[in-house]
Amino acid sequence: KAGVTQTPRYLIKTRGQQVTLSCSPISGHRSVSWYQQTPGQGLQFLFEYFSETQRNKGNFPGRFSGRQFSNSRSEMNVSTLELGDSALYLCASSFGSSGTDTQYFGPGTRLTVL
Amino acid sequence: KQEVTQIPAALSVPEGENLVLNCSFTDSAIYNLQWFRQDPGKGLTSLLLIQSSQREQTSGRLNASLDKSSGRSTLYIAASQPGDSATYLCAVEPRSGAGSYQLTFGKGTKLSVIP
């Protein structure tokens, strides 16, 4: 079955712009999580959605937001981009039950802010 | 706050050698621990998931153990191959209201297997 897909794979933006990233989970998965990966901080949790509801949110400024649609596809938005937002953004999908679920990650979106 | 540490940060071994990667976490209240591999510029591939009630999991040449009370996990790779070269990450899912439904990751161990 198809894996987690993320679009676009690469993005170049300038400071002050906004960006929207998309994630399509594995069929049947209802949970989508987003992570930011940078060389200095490693992988950091952004937020998690299940059945269109945000269940948990990491320690990121309000410029980072997300949503999930009824078909479980998810988008994240970053407004007023800063240089420090340059990173690999990864999404992961699962069935959504704590404790037993394996997280399946997509290939990521590489965002470069100039 | 849960913290996950992986030592060493990098490891280079000759092909065929057995090796162990280490992961430690500060809070034993976890649902599970997962090991992932990441190839350069790519996403994460899940290797093994150990639930908090389990002690180990095996998949092919990989064996992961979990000692929740001491806050430690190891990933054992038998008969290493050049194709095993990647960064290995461990992550825990905290068992708490604020920490549920998220993974806390270590910084990873970059493994190089020399032919």
B61-72, pLDDT tens digit by residue?
A: 999 999 999 999
> What's the token pair of residue A79?
């407004």
Longest Cα separation, chain B: 47
pLDDT confidence of residue B97? 62
Q: Could you tell me which of B106, B90, B96, B102 has the C-alpha nearest to residue B27?
A: B96
- Minimum-distance CB partner of B102 among A58, A88, A105: A58
pLDDT beyond 70 at A11: yes
The answer to whether B92 touches B25, Cβ cutoff 8 Å, is yes
Mean pLDDT for all residues in chain A: 94
Is pLDDT above 60 for B99?
no
pLDDT number for residue B77: 97
The pLDDT of B105-112, averaged and rounded, is 97
Q: Which of B110, B97, B111, B103 is nearest to B25 (CA)?
A: B103
Give the list of residues 6+ apart from residue A86 with CB closer than 8 angstroms, or none. A38, A111, A112, A113
Q: If phi over 0 gives left and psi between -120 and 50 gives alpha, with beta otherwise, what is residue A108?
A: left
Searching chain B, which residue's CA lies closest to the CA of residue A3?
B45
pLDDT at A74: 98
The mean pLDDT value for B48-52 works out to: 93
A108 touches chain B (CB under 8 A): yes
Residue A112 has φ and ψ, to the nearest 5°, of -115, 125
> What pLDDT is attached to residue B64?
97
Whether residue B90 contacts residue B73, with contact meaning beta carbons closer than 8 Å, is answered with: yes
> What's the whole-number mean pLDDT along residues B77-92?
97
Does the CB of A66 have a partner CB in chain B at under 8 Å? Answer: no
CB pair distance less than 8 Å for B46 and A102: yes
Chains A and B form CB pairs within 8 A to the count of: 71
Residue B82 pLDDT > 90 = yes
DSSP class of residue B53? T
Alpha carbons A68 and A32: distance in angstroms, whole number: 8
Rounded Cα distance, A31 and B25, in Å? 25
User: What confidence tens digit (pLDDT) does each residue in A45-95 have?
Assistant: 999 999 999 999 999 999 999 999 999 999 999 999 999 999 999 999 999
What is the pLDDT confidence band of residue B89, given thresholds at 50, 70 and 90? very high
Q: Is B10 exposed, middle or buried (0-12, 13-18, 19+ CB in 10 A)?
A: exposed
Report whether pLDDT(A98) > 70.
Answer: no
Subunit contact A43:B34, Cβ cutoff 8 A? no
pLDDT in tens, A21-33: 999 999 999 999 9
Instruction: Provide φ and ψ at A84, rounded to 5°.
Output: -70, -5
pLDDT at B48 (0 to 100): 96
Length of chain B, in residues: 115
Q: Across residues B77-86, what is the average pLDDT?
A: 97
Residue tagged 């049947």 (tokens): A28
CA dihedral angle for residue A37, residue A80, residue B102, residue A11, rounded to 10 degrees: -40
